[in-house]
Amino acid sequence: MADREFRIGATVYGTGGARVGRIRAYDARGDYLSVRASVLSRMDLRIPASAVRHIDAEGNVHLGLGPDEMAETAPAADTVAPLDHPILPHGQDPHVVRHGGLYYLAQSLDDRAITIAATTALTGLAAARPAVVWGAPPSGSGSHGVWAPELVMLEGRWYIYDAADDGDNASHRMYALASVSGSPLGPYQERGRVATRPDTWAIDGTVLAQGDAYHLIWLGWPGAIWLGWPGADDVQQNLYIAPMRDPCTLAGPGVTLSEPAYAWERPTVGPAVNEGPAVLRHGERLFLAYAANGS
**Is 275 an annotated catalytic residue?**
yes
Q: Whole-angstrom Cα distance, residue 177 to residue 162?
A: 8
Helix (H) or strand (E) holding 112: none
Q: If phi over 0 gives left and psi between -120 and 50 gives alpha, with beta otherwise, what is residue 156?
A: left
Residue at 157: amino acid letter = R
Pairing of strands 144-154, 131-135: unpaired
The catalytic residue among 162, 204, 265, 275 is 275
**Is 93 an annotated catalytic residue?**
yes
DSSP letter (8 states) at residue 192: E
- CA quadruple 116, 117, 121, 126: dihedral, nearest 10: -130
Q: Whole-angstrom Cα distance, residue 82 to residue 148?
A: 30
Q: Whole-angstrom Cα distance, residue 213 to residue 161?
A: 17
- The tally of CA atoms less than 13 A away on the side-chain side of residue 168 is 8
Please report, for residues 32, 96, 113, 126, 234, the alpha-carbon distance to residue 117 in angstroms, rounded to integers and kept in the order given: 18, 9, 13, 10, 39
The catalytic residue among 5, 93, 150, 204 is 93
For 77, residues 6+ apart whose C-beta sits below 8 A from its C-beta are none
Catalytic positions are 93, 275
